[in-house]
């Protein structure tokens, strides 16, 4: 039995402060030379505080929170990009993430080539990607622009392409960060259908966004984060309610 689920118990994550202060050999040496009293203390950033959450098969979870609340950090932690400092993190299932759009695209290559490249980045074989290409091209619906270099694309077109690729390569856990809003209304309808079909295949979706309308349309469960802490977890409508009250 292989049931997709995400389970975090008491997860803490610290950004290593050394990454920001010791940028060079010089600062490392000067740190040794400067007396302890005068030393500036840069503490590790406690980005996720004691997060415990269970997400199971077919759930669509929306992450709410102000800028810097830890939404992206949580997504990247689930994606396995950030090492947690304590607690337990179990992710069962293949993760597909769409965290930052422009990253991983080659600006000089055409849209079609980039479909191929991104597929390889996600670990697929060239053979599989060739088969999927037409399907992705059709879904992204970029017309003749698919054969233009990516650098000529608008942000919305980039979103469409990236979304089309990420959702067609298949996976069990889909992580989306803040990107969904950039598509136009027409594309949004398609995206919603696509996400609905993903749910039918009992895949997990975790979405971080400030677009509350999209959020309530796509998700059924809402999680509110504040300063790295989980302050609310419940049905999406009441989560949005809670978030709005909390914000003002």
What are the residues binding other proteins (CB under 8 A)? 15-16, 19, 22-26, 28, 79-83, 97, 99-100, 103-104, 106, 108, 117, 120-126
What is the C-alpha to C-alpha distance for residues 72 and 177, in angstroms, rounded to an integer?
7
Quick count: other Cβ atoms within 10 Å of Cβ 147?
A: 12
CB 170, min distance to other proteins, A: 15
Of the candidates 104, 102, 109, 105, which has an alpha carbon nearest to the alpha carbon of residue 149? Answer: 109
Q: Which residues contact 30 (CB under 8 A, 6 or more apart)?
A: none
Closer by beta carbon to other proteins, 108 or else 184? 108
Residue 95 DSSP SS3: strand
CB 61, min distance to other proteins, A: 20
Closer by beta carbon to other proteins, 25 or else 43? 25
CB 28, min distance to other proteins, A: 8
What is the C-alpha to C-alpha distance for residues 11 and 32, in angstroms, rounded to an integer?
33
Which residues in 70-91 are b (16+ Cβ under 10 Å) and which e?
Answer: bbbbbbbbbbeebebeebebeb
Closer by beta carbon to other proteins, 41 or else 126? 126
What is the C-alpha to C-alpha distance for residues 147 and 123, in angstroms, rounded to an integer?
23
CB 238, min distance to other proteins, A: 33
Closer by beta carbon to other proteins, 133 or else 241? 133
Closer by beta carbon to other proteins, 53 or else 128? 128
CB 145, min distance to other proteins, A: 21
How is residue 53 written in tokens? Answer: 């959450």
Q: How many CA atoms lie within 13 A of 75 on its CB side?
A: 26
What is the C-alpha to C-alpha distance for residues 155 and 29, in angstroms, rounded to an integer?
43
CB 89, min distance to other proteins, A: 12
Closer by beta carbon to other proteins, 125 or else 193? 125
């Amino acid at each position: 039995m292989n049931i997709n689920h995400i389970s975090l118990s008491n997860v803490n994550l610290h950004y290593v402060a050394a990454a920001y202060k010791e940028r060079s050999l010089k600062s490392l040496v000067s740190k040794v030379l400067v007396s302890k009293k005068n030393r500036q203390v840069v503490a590790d950033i406690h980005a996720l505080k004691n997060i415990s959450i269970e997400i199971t098969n077919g759930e669509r979870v929306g992450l709410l929170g102000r800028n810097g609340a830890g939404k992206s950090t949580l997504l990247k932690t689930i994606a396995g990009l950030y090492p947690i400092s304590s607690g337990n993190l179990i992710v069962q299932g293949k993760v597909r993430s769409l965290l930052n759009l422009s990253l991983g695209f080659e600006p000089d290559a055409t849209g079609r080539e980039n479909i191929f490249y991104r597929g390889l980045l996600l670990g697929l074989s060239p053979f599989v990607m060739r088969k999927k290409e037409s399907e992705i091209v059709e879904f992204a619906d970029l017309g003749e622009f698919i054969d233009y270099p990516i650098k000529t694309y608008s942000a919305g077109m980039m979103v469409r392409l990236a979304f089309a690729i990420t959702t067609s390569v298949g996976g069990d856990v889909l992580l989306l960060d803040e990107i969904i809003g950039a598509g136009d209304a027409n594309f949004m309808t398609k995206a919603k259908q696509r996400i609905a079909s993903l749910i039918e295949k009992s895949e997990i979706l975790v979405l971080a966004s400030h677009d509350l309308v999209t959020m309530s349309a796509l998700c059924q469960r809402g999680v509110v984060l504040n300063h790295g802490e989980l302050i609310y977890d419940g049905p999406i409508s009441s989560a949005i309610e809670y978030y709005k009250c909390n914000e003002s």
